Structure 1
């Protein structure tokens, strides 16, 4: 835990944080939000990068939008998605860095993680 962490504030927002983690616990939504951590993408770009089929992708993007995780921008016939809240961006970058680090970055051996 961080020094000076306001545990009471964490306690008061625990349901909100747990709800976010539950929303992100679906593999498709996790893939989509990890991709959006790098910046705005069109629906077709998200589909190509994640491999999530269009019907499922539409459902998951609608859910992320309804929950206030992503925002949209329309340009002609294309819809672009981006992460709405900078806190979500920070969470997604931390998750992606922890579980899919850049090839050049030093990695912690799995044995150390288990301890």
Structure 2
């Protein structure tokens, strides 16, 4: 995929759209840039998990996991579902999965 070519003679609407897209992308990247949030997203790539499951997978306290989930929820990256007293989270859409695949290829894949 090639990056779009930017013209000096962009319309004001095109420039506004570019700024809006850059802001949205920046907020997305800030949300996943924390290692705890990134680890939560990595675990959610495999499917829905309860807060308790995430605590165990991350070896983290409930307060820390909840704080990171709150930020991910605020940014629209995860969606909660309540079942009785348990709260389950899943990815809101495919964006985190796509980014994490690239991150995995760049930093975790031993095949290179």
Q: How does the TM-score come out when normalised to structure 1?
A: 0.75
Deviation at 1:26, TM superposition (A): 1.0
Verify the 8 A CA contact 1:37 1:93 in the aligned structure 2. Answer: no
State whether structure 2 residue 60 is matched by structure 1 residue 60. no
Instruction: Report SS of the residue matched to 2:60.
Output: coil
- Extract unaligned runs of 5+ from structure 1: 109-115
Runs of 4+ with deviation above 6 angstroms: none
State whether structure 2 residue 37 is matched by structure 1 residue 39. no
Verify the 8 A CA contact 1:34 1:93 in the aligned structure 2. Answer: no
State whether structure 2 residue 26 is matched by structure 1 residue 28. no
Based on CA coordinates, which of the two structures has the bigger radius of gyration? 2
- Extract unaligned runs of 5+ from structure 2: 7-13
Deviation at 1:81, TM superposition (A): 0.4
State whether structure 2 residue 96 is matched by structure 1 residue 88. yes
Q: How does the TM-score come out when normalised to structure 2?
A: 0.77
Kindly tell me the number of residue pairs found equivalent between the two proteins. Answer: 102
CA RMSD of aligned residues (A): 2.1
1:9-28 Cα distance to aligned partner (Å, 9 max, x none): 89441221121111111111
Mapped partners of 2:88, 2:105: distance in 1: 24
Instruction: Report SS of the residue matched to 2:46.
Output: coil
For 1:113, the equivalent position in structure 2 comes to none
Deviation at 1:6, TM superposition (A): 3.0
